[in-house]
A = this chain, B = another copy of it.
């Protein structure tokens, strides 16, 4: 980036990164914003091609990973088809950044068998609306972690879809606005209550959604749970550890009459005892 002659920048590039750009480089701002009039993808492509043909080194600077809902593939294909050499530098995608910040593993062993990313897209940006949508969510199996990029506008539909697929209403869920930035705001909730919780907190785009048992491993979830707003979460069928089940059963019997709800995810029999330790602590906090 220090050798760039021209840099095309997206929205939300952290100032510390912008400062790395050579002072002699020309900077072209091509940020798009959902719900606002903004530059089209075709215009960005033309800017890139024009710059590549005029000068030596052009950098297209995006946030996150450019190959995960980042349009780098389209821009690279456009340029390659016009004989412009392209080199892509990978990045930390928003899901990884948010997971690290929240202290939750996207693929906690014994809890999530896999990890899926889908794009929900904004509520008003017509250009984005043509992309994939929550319709693709039919693919998500229950023990998997689901991360939804740009899904705020379709959150109620997302909930309906996931519930219809049999996901438990009490599946831990998380919405993070402007994740990994100083302006980050996070809402921990359940799948059932997420749209209302997000609305109450007035979260706005860009907001990343994470749905799945792994959200229950975040310290933020434990804090929320300890405030008495726990719920029952079913893990993979028939995979429950007897010990965990017994502990939960005992607690359930003591708590359900009071209207309290308990969160737990079943650890696989052959998993380590770490989840059990977590459960003990979590359950102890409401005992």
Contact = CB atoms under 8 A, between A and B. Distances in A.
Contacts of A68: 96, 106-107, 115
A104 B217 CA distance: 33
A104 to B, nearest CB: 7
Interface in A248-283: 268, 270-272, 274-275, 277-278, 281
A91 interface: yes
A193 interface: no
Contact of A143 (B117, B136, B277): B136
A65 B89 contact: no
A119 B114 contact: yes
A9 interface: no
B67 A270 contact: no
A41 interface: yes
Contacts of A76: 103, 105
Interface string A18-42: 0000000000000000000000011
A212 to B, nearest CB: 12
A269 to B, nearest CB: 9
A76 to B, nearest CB: 6
Interface of A: 41-42, 65-74, 76-78, 80-81, 86, 88-93, 96-97, 99-101, 103-110, 112-119, 130-133, 135-141, 143-144, 180, 214, 217, 219, 268, 270-272, 274-275, 277-278, 281
Given A118-B113, A130-B270, A277-B78, A100 B141 contact: no
Which of the listed residues A77, A89, A133 has the most CB atoms from chain B within 10 Å of its own CB? A77
Nearest to A65: B96
Contact of A73 (B41, B96, B114, B217): B217
13 contacts: A65-B92, A67-B104, A73-B109, A77-B108, A78-B272, A80-B103, A80-B219, A80-B278, A92-B96, A113-B118, A113-B133, A114-B132, A130-B270
B105 A74 contact: yes
Nearest to A82: B277
A178 to B, nearest CB: 16
Contacts of A103: 76, 80, 86, 88
A217 B86 CA distance: 13
Nearest to A149: B107
A133 B143 CA distance: 12
A138 to B, nearest CB: 6
Given A136-B143, A140-B139, A97 B90 contact: yes
Enumerate the 4 nearest inter-chain pairs by beta-carbon distance, A residue then B residue, closest first: A73-B105, A139-B141, A113-B132, A113-B136
Contacts of A101: 88, 90
Nearest to A219: B80
A90 B81 contact: no
